[in-house]
Amino acid sequence: MKVSLVLLSLAISVSAQQHVFETEPPGTAFHHPIRRVAVVGAGPAGLQAAANLIEHNFTVRLFERAPHPGGNWIYSEETPVRESYPYAYANKLRDEPAGHAAEIPAQLPVTRYYSEGDNGLTLDERWTEHWQPRPVWDSLHTNSPKVSTELPDVQYAPDTPWVLSTHTIQRHVRSFASHHCLNSNDYCPASVSAPPVTAYSTRVEKVEKDDSTHTWVLTLRRLERLYESDRILAEWWTETFDAVVLAAGPYTAPHVPEIDGIVNWSKAKVGAQYSMYHSQTYRHPERYADKTVLIVGASVSASEIARDIGPFASRIIASIRPPKDSTEMRQRSLLRFPNITEFVPEIAFFEPLEKHNEGIRNGKIHLINGTVLQGIDEIILATGYRSHPLYPHNSTSRVPEKIHWTGHYIPDPTLAYTLGRPWVLGRYQSYGFAKVWAGTARLPSEEVKLPPTPDDRRRNWRSMWLGEAIIRRYVSWLNGASLEHGGRFVEPPPIENVELLNYYAVVHFLNINRDCQTTMDLDGLGGLGISTLANQLTGKDPWDALVFEDDDW
Ligand SMILES: Cc1cc2nc3c(=O)[nH]c(=O)nc-3n(C[C@H](O)[C@H](O)[C@H](O)COP(=O)(O)OP(=O)(O)OC[C@H]3O[C@@H](n4cnc5c(N)ncnc54)[C@H](O)[C@@H]3O)c2cc1C
Ligand SMILES: NC(=O)c1ccc[n+]([C@@H]2O[C@H](COP(=O)([O-])OP(=O)(O)OC[C@H]3O[C@@H](n4cnc5c(N)ncnc54)[C@H](OP(=O)(O)O)[C@@H]3O)[C@@H](O)[C@H]2O)c1
Ligand SMILES: *[C@@H]1O[C@H](CO)[C@@H](O)[C@H](O)[C@H]1NC(C)=O
Ligand SMILES: *[C@@H]1O[C@H](CO)[C@@H](O)[C@H](O)[C@H]1NC(C)=O
Ligand SMILES: *[C@@H]1O[C@H](CO)[C@@H](O)[C@H](O)[C@H]1NC(C)=O
Ligand SMILES: *[C@@H]1O[C@H](CO)[C@@H](O)[C@H](O)[C@H]1NC(C)=O
Ligand SMILES: *[C@@H]1O[C@H](CO)[C@@H](O)[C@H](O)[C@H]1NC(C)=O
């Protein structure tokens, strides 16, 4: 607690002294110069943001709820505890700051100790609820090639295959963290008295603007497992910043469909094992041996998990709904299901179970076409994720509105979001945050207007965030600003990378079709033949190659 109080008073004294710019303001005008910056999230995006801000001599604090850097790519045998995410609640998370506002004690700072079973939670449940172990499974491989899944400054070994294992990416992201002294066991203070940059196992619960001081107040919660005394130490405190980067990622919380009866079914167990759970808890295929598994969803998690358990399960049933719009990526996912998959329509409702300790084999699942499914052993909800923007917490959209293409929040550009593919865009975006806040770049004034309708917006964002267009825009903006106000120059990705992406896209698609195990009729998928698919991909923006990112990001 001492540390945080010191930080707080330091921040206040700095902001009290500085009310005017020291130099002719070339950049966007702020109430006072930006000195202290918080970064929320130590995934590929947040780590790059922190590294760029440190390079620009800001006082940086990097907060990460997980015990290590890596973001989505931390592989762990731990899984999020289902019971702490009752289904009705999981969807509500986005409406509440970090979903746990009610748990923030009234008086801060405060320290509490928890023992096994306190408030009905085991220590493991308390721990995994805090950091939500990531939705990557042991055999997961990328659906993007390494040329577009690589961070700057550290390189994959030349013999690393194009398709990367989750374990390889984990090491890669952690190498980047260590390279910049941001790993969980690194400590490279600028001076003896400087506070540490990183705070792992520290979840940002709230991000609020203090209108009187024009600073951001972050409410933080850190957990520490005390193995010797078999307890968990929880600390809550606040820290104050001049600017904040929200790099919490697009997949912060599970999306669970609101199907009638799903809450009732979510309690069903066999022994200690739940019978229905979200795909974020999937790790290994072995326990599906000789089981009948129902997978809900038609996207990447659904098809890849089906593929993983295919050699083990006795039956795989996939409940899919008609596509909202027919994309090549959806078709790709459908082709990836193993050939034993039986496709059924969407679920209408789950008939309430009589007991919760006998699993779901006798339960009845009503499909929208009137058919009733029975005899299912396990249900995997591969129904996707929700982002959790933290702020503005009453925003109804998943991507906050009023965001500049640089990621800055337009009404208050001391707040910025990381957007798009961090592997490709993060280096430019982070540099942009640093330059705008250091006063060596103006927020570009053009393109501030967002497209009129949400649909237009989505389309526009998708092409902008993923494509070459945005890279060109960054390069010209950043280099123009550096020419005028100083700073290093940036380059677009080397042309051979674009060629590699094109090549990969075609070869990969041909391979999928060759290995295609599905009994589904290819022509039934919108009449697209192999060559048509390949042509479509080469015709598209290559940076988009085979990455099925959430439309909104
Ligand atoms: C199952 C799965 C497979 C994927 N496969 C691919 C792939 O093959 N290729 C590809 O390019 N992309 C893939 N992705 C997308 C993936 O999101 C990106 O590769 C990348 O990890 C995004 O980086 P990020 O830093 O934006 O977010 P993340 O990597 O998600 O990092 C965000 C970090 O913020 C932290 N955080 C969130 N909220 C808080 C809070 N309140 N307080 C403190 N910390 C917080 C999280 O703990 C997390 O560590 C996949 C995603 C999923 C879910
Ligand atoms: N590298 C890999 O191997 C890998 C593996 C997993 C995930 N990923 C990545 O992770 C991200 C998330 O992928 P994801 O597959 O978890 O989520 P997703 O792409 O958001 O897909 C969610 C799926 O659930 C379906 N769904 C939601 N509610 C449903 C309902 N009530 N009934 C039936 N279906 C329902 C959706 O259908 P609609 O389409 O109709 O909405 C969609 O098919 C993507 O970027 C993906 O590329 C990568
Ligand atoms: C950061 O500080 C160092 C040492 O004072 C200085 O050499 C460097 O130019 C500064 N970097 C930026 C981007 O201002
Ligand atoms: C299904 O796939 C398996 C394993 O990949 C293969 O041995 C089998 O011949 C395939 N069956 C059909 C009907 O295609
Ligand atoms: C409903 O869908 C299932 C699975 O595809 C199918 O077997 C069944 O015949 C369908 N029922 C009706 C009434 O169409
Ligand atoms: C849910 O299932 C239990 C069986 O344990 C049953 O007692 C209960 O009434 C069901 N709830 C609803 C709302 O149907
Ligand atoms: C969001 O909250 C702010 C104040 O907290 C309020 O001024 C604003 O009107 C709210 N917006 C919506 C869309 O509810």
Rounded to whole angstroms, how far apart are CA atoms 255 and 386? 6
* Residue in 353, 357, 360 to alter for ligand 6 test, most ligand atoms within 8 A of Cβ: 353
Ligand at minimal distance from the CA of 420 is: 1
Q: In angstroms, what is the span from residue 181 Cα to ligand 3's centroid?
A: 17
Q: Please indicate whether residue 264, judged by its CB atom, sits closer than 6 Å to ligand 6.
A: yes
Split at pLDDT 50, 70, 90, the class of 409 is confident
| Most confident by average pLDDT, 27-31, 119-123, 483-487 | 483-487
- Is 90 within a domain? no
Count of domains in the chain? 2
Please indicate whether residue 486, judged by its CB atom, sits closer than 6 Å to ligand 3: no
Please write the tens of the pLDDT for every residue from 427-437: 999 999 999 99
Residue 414 pLDDT exceeds 50: yes
Residues 335 and 403 occupy one common structural domain:
no
From atom 4 of ligand 5, which residue's Cα is the shortest distance away?
344
Query: Is position 506 within any domain?
Result: no
Kindly tell me the burial class for residue 286, based on how many C-beta atoms sit within 10 Å of its own C-beta (0-12, 13-18, 19 or more): exposed
User: What's the mean pLDDT in 475-496?
Assistant: 94
Measured between alpha carbons, how far is 509 from 160 in angstroms, rounded to an integer?
Answer: 20
For residue 232, the SS3 value is: strand
Do 168 and 70 have their domain in common?
A: yes
Give domain status of residue 217, yes or no.
Answer: yes
Ligand 5 centroid – CA 323 distance (Å): 18
Our answer on whether the CB atom of 369 is closer than 6 Å to any ligand 5 atom is yes
Domain that holds residue 475: 13-74+134-252+387-485
- Considering the domain architecture, whether residues 64 and 175 belong to the same structural domain is answered as yes
- The answer to whether the CB of 371 is under 6 A from ligand 4 is no
Q: Taking 70 as the threshold, does the pLDDT of residue 8 lie above it?
A: no
Answer yes or no: is the C-beta of 538 below 6 A from any ligand 6 atom: no
pLDDT of residue 288: 97
Question: Looking at the predicted structure, is the pLDDT value of residue 351 above 70?
Answer: yes
Tell me if 87 is assigned to some domain: no
Q: How far is the CA of 289 from the centre of ligand 2 (A)?
A: 24
The number of the ligand nearest the C-alpha atom of 386 reads 2
* 468 Cα to the center of ligand 6, angstroms: 53
Residues linked to residue 344 through DSSP beta bridges, in sequence order:
319
pLDDT digits (tens, 9 = 90+) for 243-259: 999 999 888 878 888 89
Q: What is the mean pLDDT of residues 13-26?
A: 38
- Residues 328-344 have a mean pLDDT of 85
From ligand 5's centre to the CA of 57, what distance in Å? 63
The answer to whether position 25 is within a domain reads yes
* Residue 508: predicted pLDDT: 67
Residue 116 C-alpha from the chain's centroid: 30
Higher pLDDT, residue 153 or 266: 153
Ligand 5 atom nearest to 343, measured from its CA: 5
Of all protein residues, the one whose alpha carbon is nearest to atom 6 of ligand 4 is 517
Q: Between 275 and 331, name the one with better pLDDT.
A: 275
**Spatial distance between the Cα atoms of 259 and 274, rounded to a whole number of angstroms:** 18
Pair 378, 400 in one domain:
no
Same domain for 553 and 457, yes or no, is: no
- Which one has a higher pLDDT value, 5 or 487? 487
Ligand in closest contact with the CA of 352: 6
- Does residue 307 have its Cβ closer than 6 Å to ligand 4? no
263 or 135, which is more confident:
135
Beta carbon of 462 within 6 Å of any ligand 3 atom:
no
Q: Which of 47, 62, 72 to mutate to test the pocket of ligand 1 (most atoms within 8 A of CB)?
A: 72
CB-CB neighbours of 311 under 10 Å? 11
Residue 453, pLDDT score: 62
- Residue 6: per-residue pLDDT: 33
Q: Is 432 found in the same domain as 319?
A: no
Q: Are residues 371 and 240 located together in one domain of the fold?
A: no
pTM: 0.88
Nearest to 316 by CA among 336, 348, 288, 294: 294
Are 143 and 238 members of one domain?
yes
User: Which atom of ligand 2 approaches the CA of 384 most closely?
Assistant: 17
pLDDT, tens only, 51-87: 999 999 999 999 999 999 999 999 999 987 664 454 4
Q: What is the mean pLDDT of the chain?
A: 81
Q: Which ligand is nearest to the CA of 333?
A: 2
Please work out whether the CB of residue 261 comes within 6 Å of at least one atom of ligand 1: no
pLDDT score at 431: 98
Residues 145 and 264 in one domain: no
Q: Quick check: CB of 213 below 6 Å from ligand 4?
A: no
Nearest CA to ligand 5 atom 3: 344
Q: pLDDT category, 92, cuts 50, 70, 90?
A: very low
Tell me, what CATH number does 451's domain have? Answer: 3.50.50.60
pLDDT (average), residues 377-392:
81
Shared-domain flag, residues 338 and 437:
no
The answer, yes or no, to whether any atom of ligand 4 lies below 6 A from the CB of 311, is no
Structure tokens at 285: 């295929």
Residue 91 to residue 185: CA distance in whole angstroms: 35
Res 359 pLDDT > 90: yes
Q: Cβ-count burial of 135 within 10 angstroms (0-12 exposed, 13-18 middle, 19+ buried)?
A: buried
CA 338 to ligand 4 center in whole angstroms: 8
What is the Rg, in whole angstroms, of the alpha carbon atoms belonging to the chain? 24
